[in-house]
Amino acid sequence: NAKCYLEFKTRDSYHLNEFHLFTNGKKADV
């Protein structure tokens, strides 16, 4: 969900990069 992504990136900026890359490689609706 987009909410999860927002919360995740808000909680950890460091993981945001990896998570962002993952969403880009797969789908943002993970």
Q: What is the residue range of 30's domain?
A: 1-30
20: left (phi over 0), alpha (psi -120 to 50) or beta: alpha
Q: Could you say which DSSP state residue 26 is in?
A: S
Provide the residue-wise pLDDT of the chain in tens; the chain has 30 residues.
556 566 655 555 555 555 555 555 555 554
What pLDDT is stored for residue 21 in this prediction?
Answer: 56
What pLDDT is stored for residue 30 in this prediction?
Answer: 46
- When divided into structural domains, the chain yields a total of 1
CA gap 19, 16 in Å, rounded = 5
How many angstroms separate the first and last alpha carbons of the chain?
A: 6
Answer for the pair 20, 5: CB distance below 8 angstroms, yes or no. no
What pLDDT is stored for residue 9 in this prediction?
Answer: 56
What pLDDT is stored for residue 25 in this prediction?
Answer: 52
